[in-house]
Amino acid sequence: MRGVLTCLVFLTVSVAVAAVVAQAQAPPPAAPAAGGGLHRIAYIDVQRVLARSAAGVAAREQLEREKATMQKEMDAKRVELEKLREELEKKGALLTADARRDRQEQFERKRRDAARLADDFQKELERKESVLLQKVLQEVSGIIERVGKEKNYYLIVEKRGAGVVYAAPDADLTEEVIRAFDQQAPKGPAPASPAVGPGKKP
């Protein structure tokens, strides 16, 4: 999950930075702003935006609901396998060789099916995570560009991805981006349309 998130963060921030840099050709204001001068370079922490913004929280909650639904189905499969295993252990000696072999094959078949289902669920969860987070990050990119234009910044970088070794607190735009993001989308991301899950017919 961290790998997918990291790739998306770097990709989206690169787009945002490119858009903001394009605005650098605009002439600077005649005098510095009151209260400490005009900052020409700033940074944001995208991971903090995802963790604290309303849309980021909503995306994580939706993913947790998806995960809980999948876990419930996997738990049912596990209980079924446990019952079959106990039946083989308790009644196996009373069965004929053919009947015992059939039960064993049935158990192995269900075990393989459960393993494949778990793998399918993992891939489906990663896909849904990618879709939800990509939507949030695209919206954040637009917010970053807008804030950069309004504040007349030459450059806005992502704190972690840019390898920043020192950053003055006054140059941190993260909270401002979060506030602007929440104002633009107070209800968070729209629920994703139900996807056809593994083993289910559309």
Q: What is the pLDDT of residues 25-77, one digit of tens each?
A: 344 443 344 444 455 888 888 888 888 899 889 988 999 999 999 999 999 99
Average pLDDT across the chain, whole number: 75
pLDDT classification of 189: cutoffs 50, 70, 90: very low
- What contacts 169, CB < 8 A, 6 or more positions away? none
Give residue limits of the domains in the chain.
2-26+41-184
CA 133 – CA 95 distance, rounded (Å):
54
> Residue 177: which of 56, 61, 53, 36 has the closest Cα?
53
CA distances from 87 to 78, 130, 174 (A): 14, 42, 58
pLDDT at 83 over 70: yes
Q: Which helix (H) or strand (E) holds 171?
A: none
**Sign (positive/negative) of CA torsion 20, 172, 45, 163?**
positive
